[in-house]
Structures are given as C-alpha cells and as structure tokens.
Amino acid sequence: MTKKRSINKQKQERGDFSGISQKFSKSIYDTSKGQLRMEVLKRDLAPLLASEPCLVLDVGAGLGQVNQWFQQKGFKVVHSDLSSEMVEEAELRHKAQGLDQQCQYISSSLTDLVNQQPFTQYDIILCHAVLEWLPDTELAIQQLASLLKPGGRLSLMFYNHHAKLFANAIYGNFDYIERGLKVKKTVRLSPENPAVPEQVESWLKNEGLAVTQKTGVRCFHDYLRNIEHQQRFDELLALEMKYNQMSPYRELGRYQHWIIEKPNCQEE
C-alpha cells in the first residue's frame, strides 16, 4: 500500500472526509436515500426546533445541512467536524444563507471536544452517522454523555448492524455475512463498523441516559428489488413516515435515529 493510500485509509477509519467533500455531498445528500434521511430527521427534530433557543453542538456536522435548521430558529450552534475542508465548506454555505453569525466552526474530533478548555456542556447535541466511523463506540457514547447538560437531549443516528446483515442476506452475500460483515477491501463512504442497537442502548443506560423516541431511517428503500422504485419518492416517503416508528419496521431501518434525554438529577 502506498503512503498516500495508507493516509487516506487512516482518515476514513476515523471519519475524516477531507479531499472528497463534493463526492460526499453527491453520494449522500443528492440521492433518494439522502433525501429520505433529511425528511425523517426534520420530522423527528421538529419538537427540538420548536423549543426555546439554546446551545447546540453538532458532532461530525459535515456540510451543516441539519444544524442550519437550528440556526434559522435562533439557536447558537457549534459546528464540529474532523475534516477542516468540510468545516470551511459548511461555513461558506451558511454565509450564503446569512446564518454564520449563529455558528462557531471548529475542526475537531469528539475526543478533542471532551478535552477542550474550558470544558463546555450543551443543551442539545446532534450526532448523526458518526459512531460507525469510530473505533470505540462505547467510549464515544461516554464522551457524548459527558458533553450533554443535565436535562439536555441527544439526537443520535447510527448505522444499524441488524439492517446491514439483513440487506446482505437479501442480496445473497452469504460469504460476507459469514466473515462477520468484514470486507477484504475498504470502500470509502461505506462504513464498516455498524452498531448493534441493543448494545448502544445498554451503553446509554450505563451513562444514565434514557431513549425517549426511536425511528428507523430507510426501512424500505434499501430493500427494493427494483431500484427504479426508489425514484417513486413521494410514495416511498409516505410509507417511511407511516411505519418507521412502528415495530418491526423501524428495526429494519438502515440507520436508527434516537432522541435521548439526560435526567436533571442523576440517581446515586
């Protein structure tokens, strides 16, 4: 492996998408799956957006499409991403919309945020599609819990191990499942560390956090045998919104989106 490829692989393994921000935007947001994700998040986050403006941290914020909703409502936002390129492009996007006065932009890892001085806690934390890129999911949850104020709320979206296994069974990728969902060659923008929801919930409970709402994201989209049906967006979105908070469909979501609260008073 060349030095350049080795560096790129290391960046991917920690969720740094420097140098491919345009590809990231095109592959994630300019597709039916990305549009579904945004619509579901907008629906789920509506109660938080309707609350009194407060301090919001967006971890792994990327190009800032989600935290701009909070800026538009008068919230103060800390936009954090490991990729300085992503941070710069997000700031430019927000400036074009007249929103950057509401936002602080920093290039930082989750660990850096925990170690920053002075230490800051936040009323709302957004952490979407980040856990699956980190080497230690349990540690990441501990760090998120420490950054959340008592009484605060965490919007956590993560890549679902069960959905990845189920999808690959449908595709007939039995050898891949037998290898524990491990690929021989890393593919950028394809996370290889999906989280087991039951494990995530257990780790959250250990930190004194309570899951108050669960939603599946892309409960049907990724399982369509005829991919042309993915373009029937309005119908697919209606189906998603009707069933994605209902078991067993929500558990099949490629991603899980949970709203989590930290009690005001921790039990001894």
Residues 267/208, Cβ–Cβ less than 8 Å: yes
Q: Give the confidence band of 100 by pLDDT, cuts at 50, 70, 90.
A: confident
Point out the least confidently predicted range of 112-126, 174-188, 254-268: 174-188
Mean pLDDT to the nearest integer, 117-132: 95
Percent helix, strand, coil in the chain (nearest 5)? 45, 20, 35
Q: Give the confidence band of 188 by pLDDT, cuts at 50, 70, 90.
A: low
| Location of structure tokens 């914020």 | 61
Q: Ranked by mean pLDDT, which of 8-17, 41-50, 92-101 comes out on top?
A: 41-50
Q: Percent of the chain, pLDDT > 90?
A: 75
pLDDT confidence of residue 22: 59
Q: Give the confidence band of 183 by pLDDT, cuts at 50, 70, 90.
A: confident
DSSP state of 195: B
C-alpha–C-alpha distance, residues 4 and 181, integer Å:
26
Res 132 pLDDT > 90? yes
C-alpha–C-alpha distance, residues 35 and 164, integer Å:
20
Q: Which residue has the higher pLDDT, 267 or 215?
A: 215
Mean pLDDT to the nearest integer, 91-110: 94
Residue type for position 84: S
Take residue 45 and report the two structure tokens written for it. 């986050």
What is the DSSP secondary-structure string of 217-251?
ESSSGGG-SSGGGGG-HHHHHHHHHHHTTSTTTGG
Res 18 pLDDT > 80? no
pLDDT confidence of residue 117: 83
Among residues 168, 190, 206, 153, which one has the least CA distance to residue 45? 153
Res 16 pLDDT > 90? no
C-alpha–C-alpha distance, residues 236 and 265, integer Å:
42
pLDDT confidence of residue 192: 77
Res 236 pLDDT > 50? yes
Take residue 250 and report the two structure tokens written for it. 């929500």
154-177 burial by CB neighbour count: b if 16+ within 10 A, else e?
bbbbbbbbbbbbbbeeeeeeeebe
Q: pTM value?
A: 0.88
Distances from the Cα of 66 to the Cα of 90, 151, 175, angstroms: 11, 22, 37
Helices (H), 150-190: 161-171, 174-178
Res 77 pLDDT > 70? yes
pLDDT confidence of residue 4: 45
Q: Give the confidence band of 28 by pLDDT, cuts at 50, 70, 90.
A: low
Take residue 187 and report the two structure tokens written for it. 């593919």
pLDDT confidence of residue 12: 46
Half-sphere exposure of 81 (CA within 13 A, CB side): 26
pLDDT confidence of residue 181: 87
Among residues 84, 77, 101, which one has the least CA distance to residue 19? 84
Strand bridging mode 255-261 / 210-217: antiparallel
